Amino acid sequence: MKHIVIDARIRRASTGRYVDRLIEHLQNLDKTNNYTVLINSSDSWRPKSTNFNYSYCDYPQFSFNPISQLTFAWQLYKLRADLVFFPMNQQPLLYFKTTITAVMDLTMLRFSRPGKHSKIFHIIRMQAYKFLFWYSLKKSKHILTISNFVKNDIVNSYPFVKSKITTTYCASEPSISENPTKPIGISKPFVMHVGSPLPHKNIERLLKAFEILKQDYPELKLVLAGKKEFFFNKLLNNEIRLNKYKNHIIVPGFIDDNELRWLYENAEAYVLPSLSEGFGLPGLEAMAHGTPLVSSNATCLPEVYGDAAYYFNPNNIGDMAEKISDVLSDEKLRQKLVNSGCRQLKKYSWEKMAQETLAVYEKILKED
């Protein structure tokens, strides 16, 4: 019987679904090892299995504060773990015992997102992040990734990980069960995208493609859903404000699940123009609701979506507009994408991801 610690501080964030589903399924799969799950003190998560426990851990996920670094490492040492699993590269520099790290993608290393901070602060922070990224890969006994594209990307950038890296695919959630409710101010026909317009999400080019589409589809609307934070406000104040068809670009902000279900079920297409993804969960969620998917062909997306998406070059605005137009105008193509999406979803399972992750844990524990 071993003691495994899982850092789940990110569990409630938009990028925390991976670790949330992992600990959910591990509780059913592993009744032998003991687990401690690190969560924020404001997190209401509690274990349902007797061999799982939790410990509060309120250290920030992105911090080089020496006190936080030291005390976080000390907390881990006191837990006397045989293995610590970090679902992200942010981890204490001074913890030297056995660790496994999951890497979602290399997006943060390649796409600048300075936000509210000054450029100098952002440059310093990025250099620190790059060092921590390299260091976490170097000292980890094993690396987990969520697509073969990311796996190969990491190996090409950091060849020393080649012998200690494994892909464990994510999965989609089931379709939303709440009764669909039409959001205020949205009418058909529309295409949609959900999520923060971070620089790598490429929403600026989608807005320009929308201007082209409006020439042939004058009634078409573009719905961009997601919490209105820094990047959304920046988009509203700049690209959307200057867009020729700004009155047909709808930004409802954060929407409830019942409203999201209505959007999925009534959209002409879900458009994913991203320049970089580690797995591409939004596209799978669109498939789960029977929404035709028009997607970028960048990074891992063709690997994950297979023939269930209609692809375009995300750097080519004309190609993006043309491929969206094809799906809007061709009912047979739309139905083909919907049917292929149903088949594609069956390839992925959160339980399988947890099984494969547990196998890596056990392999490393045996080696130690």
pLDDT at residue 46, rounded to an integer? 97
Residue 224 has pLDDT above 70, yes or no: yes
Mean pLDDT, all residues of the chain = 94
Calpha distance 133→146 (Å, rounded): 17
Percent of the chain surpassing pLDDT 90 = 83
Minimum mean pLDDT among 52-61, 87-96, 108-117, 142-151: which range?
A: 108-117
The predicted pLDDT at position 109 comes to 86
pTM beyond 0.75: yes
Ramachandran quadrant class, 174 (left: phi over 0; alpha: psi -120 to 50; beta: rest): beta
Q: Where are the alpha helices (H) located in the chain, listed in sequence order?
A: 17-29, 66-79, 107-110, 119-139, 148-157, 203-213, 230-235, 241-242, 257-266, 281-288, 301-305, 317-329, 331-345, 350-367
For residue 2 the two structure tokens come to: 């071993």
pLDDT at 116: 59
Range in 123-132, 230-239, 315-324 with the lowest mean pLDDT: 123-132
Task: Express each pLDDT in 166-198 by its tens digit.
Answer: 999 999 999 999 999 999 999 999 999 999 999
For residue 315, pLDDT beyond 70: yes
Q: What is the pLDDT of residue 102?
A: 97
Average pLDDT rounded to a whole number, residues 113-118 = 60
Q: Would you place residue 265 in the very low, low, confident or very high pLDDT band (cuts 50, 70, 90)?
A: very high
Average pLDDT value for residue range 150-173: 97
Band of residue 125 on the pLDDT scale cut at 50, 70, 90:
confident
Cα–Cα distances in angstroms (integers) from residue 22 to residues 36, 45, 345, 359, in the given order? 13, 13, 18, 13
Give the residue from 324, 297, 296, 298 showing the smallest Cα distance to 209: 324
- Tokens 């279900």, residue located: 261
